[in-house]
Amino acid sequence: MANELLFFMEVLVGGLLAGTMYSLVALGFVLIFKASATFNFSQGAMVFFSVLAFCGFMQDFNIPFVLAFILAAFLMVVVGLCTERLVLRPLMNASEDTVLMATIGLGYVLEGLAQAAWGVEVRRLDLGIGDFPVPWIADNLKLFISALDITAGLVAAIMIIGLFLLFKYTKIGLGLRAVADDAGAASSIGIPLKHIMLLVWSAAGVVALVAGCMWGARAGVQFALVDLALKALPVLIIGGFSSIPGAIIGGLIIGAVEKILEVYIGPFFGGAIEGWAPYVLAIFFLLYRPEGLFGEKIIRRV
Partner 1 sequence: MKPVFMTYTRKDLINLTVCMVLSVLIIPTFIKTEYWYTSILIPWLCLALATIGQQIVMGYTGQLALGAAGFMAAGAFAMFNLILRVPDLGFVGSLIVSGLIAAAFGILFGLPSLKVRGIYLMVATLASQFFIIWMIDKFGWFKNYDSSGIITAQDIVILGKPFTTPLAMYFVCLAVTTILTLLAMNMARGSTGRNWMAVRDMDIAAESMGVSLLRTKVQAFAISAFYCGVAGALFAFCYLKSLEPVAFDIKLSFKILFMCILGGLGTINGAFIGAAFILLFPVLLNAIGNNVFHGAIDATIISSIEQVIFGLLMIVFMIYEPLGMAKLWENLKQIIKLKLSSSRIKGAKSSALNK
Among 108, 132, 169, 264, which residue interacts with partner 1 (rule: CB under 8 A)?
108
Nearest to 41 by CA among 107, 88, 108: 107
Among 109, 137, 141, 147, which residue interacts with partner 1 (rule: CB under 8 A)?
109
With binding defined as CB under 8 A, does residue 296 bind partner 1?
A: no
Q: Whole-number minimum distance, CB 95 to partner 1, in Å?
A: 9
Size of the site for partner 1 (CB under 8 A): 50
* Residue (136 or 268) nearer to partner 1, CB: 268
DSSP 225-245: HHHHHHTHHHHHHHH-TT-HH
**Which residues from 144-173 bind partner 1, rule CB under 8 A?**
none
Residues 6+ apart with CB under 8 A from 287: none
CA distance 153 to 163: 15
Among 2, 5, 66, 287, which residue interacts with partner 1 (rule: CB under 8 A)?
287
Rounded to whole angstroms, what are the CA distances from 234 to 79, 210, 290?
A: 26, 20, 12
CA distance 102 to 17: 33
With binding defined as CB under 8 A, does residue 178 bind partner 1?
A: no
Among 82, 154, 275, 296, which residue interacts with partner 1 (rule: CB under 8 A)?
275
**First vs last Cα of the chain: how many Å apart?**
58
- Mark 204-223 with x for binding to partner 1 (rule: CB under 8 A) and - for no binding: --------------------
Residues 6+ apart with CB under 8 A from 261: 273, 274, 277
With binding defined as CB under 8 A, does residue 263 bind partner 1?
A: no
Nearest to 234 by CA among 274, 280, 271, 295: 280
**Which residues from 87-106 bind partner 1, rule CB under 8 A?**
87, 90-91, 94, 96-102, 104-106
Q: Which residues bind partner 1 (CB under 8 A)?
A: 39, 41, 86-87, 90-91, 94, 96-102, 104-113, 115-116, 119-120, 227, 230, 233-234, 237, 241, 269-273, 275-276, 279-280, 282-283, 286-287, 290, 300, 302
